[in-house]
A and B are shown apart, each in its own frame.
Chain A
Amino acid sequence: MRETRFWSLHILVVPLILILLGAHFAIMHYAPIFYAMSVEKAREFATMIERGKSVGQFVIYILLLAAGLYHGLYGTRGILRELPLPATLAKWVDVGMVIFGVTIFALGVYVTWWTFSFDWGG
């Protein structure tokens, strides 16, 4: 039952990823089409900080980070668990994935928070 819940969550986050990643692509990679802004301008430090200070942007990035990491690492774990691994090693794959995922998520949240709370004068 627990595995079913993990799998269902892996599928349920897909619409969220599609919408948020689509927005990310539109802002960062296709700014000339969607925002009449050059890609270079969209990636400038000042533009990035200005964008990162918005609450909406902060929430979108944390959600995308969580959904993307969960979907990706759950899929990777599934691929690894299909290999003929000994039970102990299979258990370590699970533990390793959780530790790795939490670490990368923490780094992503920290960088997003750093941008959100950036002070030009500080």
Chain B
Amino acid sequence: MKNNQPARRLGLRGWVYAGKYSFERYLYLGHRLSGLGLVAYMVLHIVETANRMRGEQAWAELMALFASPPFKVIEYLLFALAVFHAMNGIRLFLVELAFFSGKPQEPVYPYKSSVLKHRPLTYVVMILAGLLMALGGSSLFFP
């Protein structure tokens, strides 16, 4: 299989190089990075929870470590990553299924971008994500 398509030739650079950047392009990058972060965390989380098999004392020590301020901040960052990834994923799901994209039209010049048609959805979803992050942060740091 030859990898001679321009997009693939760009490799990792293709993630951030999109010529004329738009808001959605940054969301795309954020979705990928947050996804990779969450996968790494999920694997660590599965391994870390296996610590319970070492007994009650070992578990209590681990939980005490996680209750320390640095881990609280990390926990919140993970929560924020999960909220961003989930909310942006819902947006992608809706756009993928052609919701909020308007009715199909003849491709007559000057072409209209479907991205602009669902831009309001993008803003609403991101505002909701911001609210959820703020709510999660307030209950985590000020219980």
- Give the size category of B's interface with A: 35 or more
CB <8 Å contact, B3 and A84: yes
Main secondary structure of the interface of A (DSSP, over half): helix
Contacts of A84 in B (CB 8 A): 3, 8-9, 11
Contacts of B96 in A (CB 8 A): 11
Q: Which residue of B lies closest to A64 (CB)?
A: B42
CB <8 Å contact, A75 and B79: no
CB <8 Å contact, A21 and B82: yes
Contacts of A43 in B (CB 8 A): 63, 66
CB <8 Å contact, B36 and A107: no
A72 to B115, CA, bound (A): 26
B139 at the interface (CB under 8 A from A): yes
A65 to B35, CA, bound (A): 16
Which residues of B55-86 are within 8 A (CB) of A?
56, 59-60, 63, 66-67, 75, 79, 82, 86
Contacts of B52 in A (CB 8 A): 45, 48, 111, 114-115
CB <8 Å contact, B9 and A45: no
A84 to B56, CA, bound (A): 48
CB <8 Å contact, A108 and B46: yes
Contacts of B108 in A (CB 8 A): none
CB <8 Å contact, A75 and B39: yes
Q: Which residue of A lies closest to B72 (CB)?
A: A39
Tell me which of B38, B46, B56, B140 contacts A29 (CB under 8 A).
Answer: B140
Tell me how far the C-beta of A58 lies from the nearest C-beta in chain B, rounded to whole angstroms.
14
B25 at the interface (CB under 8 A from A): no
Contacts of A90 in B (CB 8 A): 1
CB <8 Å contact, A72 and B47: no
Contacts of A44 in B (CB 8 A): 60, 63
Contacts of B35 in A (CB 8 A): 72, 75-76, 79
Contacts of B67 in A (CB 8 A): 40
User: Taking A111-B49, A111-B50 as contacts, is the C-beta distance between A25 and B60 under 8 angstroms?
Assistant: no
Tell me how far the C-beta of B130 lies from the nearest C-beta in chain A, rounded to whole angstroms.
17
Pairs of residues from A and B, 4 with the lowest C-beta to C-beta distance, nearest first: A72-B39, A84-B3, A45-B56, A45-B59
Chain A contact residues, CB within 8 Å of chain B: 11, 14, 18, 21, 25, 29-30, 32-33, 38-40, 43-46, 48, 65, 68-69, 72-73, 75-76, 79, 82-85, 87, 90, 104, 107-108, 110-111, 114-115
